[in-house]
Each structure stands twice: as structure tokens, then as C-alpha cells.
């Protein structure tokens, strides 16, 4: 049987989830389009399908090992009802380790957004997640995302690793500058930099097992907005998306000079 036979094409499309998200669903044909969310969850809980009905007022997060939620990519339709039992969800967080090949990092960024876009289509409240590696990925990582609204990031582990902390903050500051969130949810750690938005903290699930997972909402906005910027209180609604940039930064070959766009 030919690899281009109808049955093979259908199986290939389903393997890549092209029957759910294709080029027509993407901004400039690159990134799956996401709608902004303005929700601030009462709590965050790890993805565990068997426990979904016990957390109807919380958002489910995926700051866990990838294999535990790879099923969302393989069988996204199967988990619509499970995820609908939560108040909403954070965009999946497929890993982008700095020592991964860059195409793999970009593929996981795409998968995270594609899954999120599909579940938004299903009526689930999905909060965009900031996913990036190092400065080489900033172009694609922060492009095509909603301007304003609520975003989430994971700070687990950055306190103990000085190098990881540096990469985390450098990317976070660029992300906030680009997508201009009204509210940033931070899971698993505290920030030691000021940001021009409201910051809401959530404990790591392991810590929250002995204490209730209640968010700490900053008493006032940390930092200040640029002069003339009057965002806030939901005024960022309808501001569109960040420009699409799928260039990556690679070092020049030879003399180790300045970075070059590719």
C-alpha cells in the first residue's frame, strides 16, 4: 500500500495532530493562535487525571515530568472531559532544556501551544505559559503570543542553581517586555526582581501537601510601567499578539564573533 494512500495520510495527520491544528490555525503560519486569559486561579494543582474531580476550583499545571502528560499530545481529544473538570489549565510545559538541539526546543514550544490552542477551542480556560531556553530562542519563544492578560511561569529550582537563575531571569525580563502581561503567575518560587505587573505566587505541590495551596497576591504592583503606558485593570484586552519572529540566534563560525540571525 502506498504511503500516500488515504488511510496512511489520515494516520500521519493524526500522529502530528494536523486534524486539530493546521497552518490555517496559526499566526503567519508559524505559531498556533492563542486567546488571552484574564483569570487568576484560586490554586494550582499537578496534572493527575484520577484526581481531577477533587480540584474543581483550581487550574491544572504541567510543571512535572514530560512523560506524565505526553498523553495530551498523543490523544488530546481523550482528555477534554478530564481537563474540563478543573477551573482551567496552564498551557502545557514540554521541556526546552538548554542542551537540547534547537529544533527539538522549537518542536516542544510548538507542541505546547498546539495543545493549548486545541483545548481553548474546546472551551477550556487556558493561561499561556512562558516557555524558553536561552537567548537563541527568544525570537520564536515570545512571538505570536497575546499581548496583556495573565501569564504563568515556573521558578522551581532556580534558587539553588546560579546559572539556571541567570538564564531564567534574562528570559523572563525579555518575555515581560514583549508580551506585557497584566498578571504573572509564578509557580514554585519567589522572584527577586521587580516587574511592571501584578505577581501572584503559588507553592510547589510538594510543599503544599502540608499547607493549603493558597496564592500570595502582591500587595502592590512591583516596579512601574514606562511613561505614558496606562495599561492595567484589564485595559490590555484586544491589543493583539506579539510580532512573529522565528529567527534563532547562532554564534558565528570561525572566530567566535557576534551572534548572527539565522
The whole-number average pLDDT for the span 112-117 is 98
Note whether 58 and 44 are within 8 A (CB). Answer: yes
Helices (H), the chain: 6-15, 71-74, 80-83, 102-121, 138-141, 162-179, 205-208
Mean pLDDT over 129-155 rounds to 96
Q: Do 60 and 86 form a contact (C-beta atoms < 8 A)?
A: yes
For 190-200, write each residue's pLDDT tens digit.
998 999 999 99
Sheet with 44-46, edge to edge strand ranges: 44-46, 59-61, 88-90, 126-127
Q: What is the mean pLDDT of the chain?
A: 84
Residue 83 pLDDT exceeds 80? yes
Task: Report whether pLDDT(249) > 80.
Answer: no
Give the residue among 195, 192, 118 at the shortest CA–CA distance from 151: 195
Distance CA 149, CA 40 (A): 10
CB 79 within 8 A of CB 49: yes
Q: What is the rounded average pLDDT of the residues 231-246?
A: 58
Nearest to 250, CA basis, from 241, 242, 258, 239: 258
Q: Is the pLDDT of residue 236 over 60?
A: no
* Side-chain-side CA neighbours of residue 25 (13 Å): 18
Rounded to two decimals, the pTM is 0.82
Amino acid at each position: 500500500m502506498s504511503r500516500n494512500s488515504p488511510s496512511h495520510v489520515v494516520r500521519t495527520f493524526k500522529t502530528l495532530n494536523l486534524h486539530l491544528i493546521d497552518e490555517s490555525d496559526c499566526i503567519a503560519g508559524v505559531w498556533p493562535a492563542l486567546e488571552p486569559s484574564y483569570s487568576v486561579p484560586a490554586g494550582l494543582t499537578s496534572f493527575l487525571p484520577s484526581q481531577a474531580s477533587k480540584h474543581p476550583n483550581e487550574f491544572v499545571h504541567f510543571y512535572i515530568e514530560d512523560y506524565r502528560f505526553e498523553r495530551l499530545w498523543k490523544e488530546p481529544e481523550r482528555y477534554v472531559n478530564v481537563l474540563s473538570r478543573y477551573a482551567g489549565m496552564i498551557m502545557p510545559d514540554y521541556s526546552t532544556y538548554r542542551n537540547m538541539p534547537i529544533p527539538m526546543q522549537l518542536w516542544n514550544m510548538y507542541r505546547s501551544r498546539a495543545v493549548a490552542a486545541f483545548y481553548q477551542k474546546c472551551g477550556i480556560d487556558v493561561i499561556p505559559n512562558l516557555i524558553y531556553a536561552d537567548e537563541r530562542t527568544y525570537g520564536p519563544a515570545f512571538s505570536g503570543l497575546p499581548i496583556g492578560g495573565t501569564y504563568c511561569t515556573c521558578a522551581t529550582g532556580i534558587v539553588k542553581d546560579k546559572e539556571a537563575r541567570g538564564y531564567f531571569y534574562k528570559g523572563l525580563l525579555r518575555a515581560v517586555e514583549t508580551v506585557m502581561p497584566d498578571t504573572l503567575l509564578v509557580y514554585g518560587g519567589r522572584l527577586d526582581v521587580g516587574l511592571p505587573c501584578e505577581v501572584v505566587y503559588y507553592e510547589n505541590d510538594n510543599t503544599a501537601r502540608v499547607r493549603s495551596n493558597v496564592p500570595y497576591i502582591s500587595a502592590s504592583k512591583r516596579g512601574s510601567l514606562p511613561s505614558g503606558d496606562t495599561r492595567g485593570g484589564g485595559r490590555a484586552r484586544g491589543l493583539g499578539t506579539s510580532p512573529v519572529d522565528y529567527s534563532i540566534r547562532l554564534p558565528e563560525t570561525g572566530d567566535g564573533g557576534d551572534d548572527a540571525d539565522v
